[in-house]
Amino acid sequence: MDILQEIVDHKREELARMRVKKPSLREALLQSETGIIAEFKRRSPSKGWIKEEGRADLIPLSYQQNGAAALSILTDKDFFGGHDDFIRTARAAGVTIPILYKNFVIDEFQLYEAALCGASAVLLIAACLSRSLCRDLIAKAHTLGLEVLLEMHSEAELEYAALGPDLCGINNRNLGSFVTDVENSFRLAERLRTVCGTATDNPVLVSESGISNPDTVKALRAAGFRGFLIGENFMKTADPGQALHDFIKNINSEL
């Protein structure tokens, strides 16, 4: 075999590995008793560095080992201290559960980035997108084997839920002011179910941001949510994985 043929054969193997179906975020949340999406978030625009030294080869794997149903990894560099390589690093370290590619996606090129780095799902934010662009990005994500978590914050954005996402997120943080209010999830949950209808393939509901109390998770589950995205509450501690473990233990004691 000549060198060129050897390289091409190896490249085919690489592509085959990339095309392997990723673990489903939707199914992971439906099957989980707690539904925690633990987030690897080193920085935020409002609070600066949360854990500048946080390592993508340690914390995401520790989250998995301590009971996370799935992970969210920030990949925005300038505002959140993230990088696409954090997902690759987490996968190389042994993470096998679903990973959400969390960024401000406004172009289909970013969907290719998400697929190539090993994400299972991608976040789309209604506030960033027109309805037509959001519809196109959802369709493109699905062709690339990515699930879509569509994030909404206000009642006006709930109409985006009809575009066919796999999961619908209610962000409790206003992305303009960064003020957080968990009551936002409770206010919008019933209205969101009305928009989605009663189909058996309704999107899984996810509450995002500002969740710091196990009792809040219990109340949100009663309101119909199956996923709970929590990052800062764990990342600000000395050991995020242990913090997750303790949080889940407290949830289970309440169930």
Per-residue confidence (pLDDT) for residue 199, from 0 to 100: 45
pLDDT digits (tens, 9 = 90+) for 63-92: 999 999 999 999 999 999 999 999 999 999
Domain locations along the chain: 24-254
Pairing status of strand 99-102 against strand 121-125: parallel
> Can you give the pLDDT of all 255 residues of the chain as single tens digits?
699 999 999 999 888 877 778 899 999 999 999 999 999 999 998 889 999 999 999 999 999 999 999 999 999 999 999 999 999 999 999 999 999 999 999 999 999 999 999 999 999 999 999 999 999 999 999 999 999 999 999 999 999 999 999 999 999 987 776 778 888 999 998 888 777 654 446 779 999 998 999 999 999 999 999 999 999 999 999 999 999 999 999 988 755
The CATH label, of 3.40.50.1820, 3.30.70.260, 3.40.718.10, 3.20.20.70, for the domain at 24-254 is: 3.20.20.70
* Closest C-alpha among 228, 150, 234, 144 to residue 185: 228
* C-beta neighbour count of 214 within 10 angstroms: 20
Tell me the two tokens of residue 157: 């954005």
pTM over 0.85: yes
Residue 61 — φ and ψ, nearest 5°?
Answer: -65, -40
Per-residue confidence (pLDDT) for residue 198, from 0 to 100: 47
